[in-house]
Structure 1
């Protein structure tokens, strides 16, 4: 039996030569020598079954994670996926995929809930497990079936946005270096990272356009950003401040905006429960209230599907007015209170 330990790992490792001559060297996922020996024997028996009996090979969670990360490098959320996978390591490291059952998943959920986190945090971990197992089953054919993964209910939050008056109050109390960034965010609806990372090479003032490259966009698709007159003024005021980045402070690009100065300004402006990302919600809400159609807002904001912007639909009812008026015109037939034109004229006064 080839069982050994490495200096860079607390676990026992195994080295096996397969029937086809392949050399397999991997961690057992345990520091217990007896358990490591058991893992070695089971793996060797499984390899014999595969070679001699044609039994479907078994794969570990670790193998699935490595392949999953390699195939999802395009995901904007891969960084958070890695965080969740590191947390899961204590439960699933060295586990065979077909050993991951409902009982184990429930114990993982219970452990996460015991950390007093919100249901959404528990669900994000469950979603990563589900994504890995579904790939293993549907794409790689490593699993015959995926156990049902239970999700916890999440409260639906209202869209948080501020009024024009509140925005004006905020701009008057913000530090000078944050003012242009907030103005630009309210004019374009760009996400925080797209504003802090905006470079001069992405700006064309002549055409009044900015570009967000695919690797900078959440949906991994390039976004053309039309610049309003106010946005152009903000950009022009930054010329000469930094060689590469549009927004800077004391000669350095601004990286962090959710600072003590930002929070202090919110308090001074009397604005509660407001994050930097809510500037994007504010921009979208103002657009809808001004009559911008949802499909146009979708394109302006770089959302992948129109469902992503439906949360703003309740802020405007102009597209329904003509249907309300149709019913009103029917009710007014034979009514001596006046014709529809007169009623509309009164309503508009």
Structure 2
């Protein structure tokens, strides 16, 4: 990099990313030297700090682009969370440039949101913000993701509510005819509500006794076995010749919601503090308490991270103790005749 004068004007001559650049920087030598130094610093920042070349794009403008991308590239269920989270962030970051959003500013946002919402909600918004910056980096709008320096908020342990045997019996007995097989399916497969309501006959193989579930997020497949209670339920349902859906609604399409019917069943059964998703927790909890290893439970639930499944690990403590007691049958006299001292 050099500074030279041609006529009355000073120029800088340097190579940037393989391209030779000559640029006029004024007639005053001192000003030209400062310009040269500024170029050196800016190039060094890009090479060593990754902060040069960021575009002047406001958060509110990029948010629109990101939502368009999100809607086109994400599963509908995954996309639905983005507009809500971004709407909250717009109130805080709105007119700021993406390049001006620092880890410190994000910490201020976290503190502000904590005044009105729970940590879990904020963490979901922060995940969206991190995804936005990752995409902005890929699109060469910014060169750093400030979220890499921001930690998640710690919240209370995840809620695990599972039904007792008595509650299961009461709930099934009082459920409406269209709801009962749905509840039995949830209790015997651990499937999510959306997976159950959108289940097709083509995904159920009664001969092999398996259900093929296609994950909505990544299009992966998990295969669930059909046990005897569930097999009996499926055999009583209208055949595939009448409808493509396992649980069709009145219009022939899948049932849109079981919210009202589920609330009615809870009221009739006298069961308190229960969500439909807790049927999935019930499935997992009884598997763990029955001695099924966590890796198998993870596979059945479709958890990508074993940490999600580890929430149920405390339920297996007594069963782990029972498992170790088996050793007394193998080593009945080991150590019993040892003298000490």
- Would the alpha carbon gap of residues 102 and 291 (structure 1) be closer, same or farther in structure 2, given more than 3 Å must change? closer
Instruction: State the alpha-carbon separation in 2 of the partners of residues 240 and 322 from structure 1.
Output: 44
Q: Cα 1:78–1:246, aligned 2, differ >3 Å: closer, same or farther? A: same
Is 1:334 matched with 2:337?
yes
Distance 1:145 1:177, change over 3 A: closer
SS, match of residue 187 in structure 1: helix
Q: CA deviation at 1:127?
A: 2.4
Structure 1 residue 150: deviation in Å? Answer: 5.0
Counterparts of residues 144-223 of structure 1 (less than 5 Å): 144=144, 146=146, 148-214=149-215, 216=216, 218=217, 220-223=219-222
**Equivalent residue for 2:256?**
255
Q: How many residues align?
A: 281
| CA deviations over 1:243-302 (Å, ceiling 9, x no partner) | 12111344543111222x312321332322111011011011111122222222222222
Q: Which region of structure 1 is more displaced relative to structure 2, 225-234 or 186-195?
A: 225-234
Report the CA distance shift for 1:126/1:239 in structure 2 as closer, same or farther (over 3 A): same
Q: Could you tell me how far apart the structure 2 residues matched to 1:131 and 1:330 are?
A: 60
**Is the 1:219–1:303 Cα contact (8 Å) retained in structure 2?**
no
Runs ≥4 residues deviating over 6 A: none
1-structure distance, mates of 2:91, 2:296: 46
Name the Cα RMSD after superposition.
Answer: 3.3
Indicate the structure (1 or 2) with the bigger Cα radius of gyration: 2
The aligned runs of 1:117-128 (5 Å cut-off) are 117-128=117-128
Name the CA shift for 1:319/1:65 in 2 (closer, same or farther; >3 Å): farther
| SS of alignment partner, residue 212 of structure 2 | strand
* Contact map agreement 1:194 1:212 (CA 8 A) in 2: yes
Q: How does 1:267-346 map to 2 (within 5 A)?
A: 267-317=267-317, 318-323=319-324, 333-334=336-337
Structure 1 residue 162, shift from structure 2 partner: 0.7
Q: Which runs of 5+ in 2 are unaligned?
A: 1-37, 44-51
Give the Å deviation of 1:204: 1.6
Return the alpha-carbon distance in structure 2 between the equivalents of residues 113 and 299 of structure 1: 35
5+ long unaligned stretches in structure 1? 1-48, 336-349
Could you tell me whether the CA contact under 8 Å between 1:190 and 1:280 is conserved in 2? yes
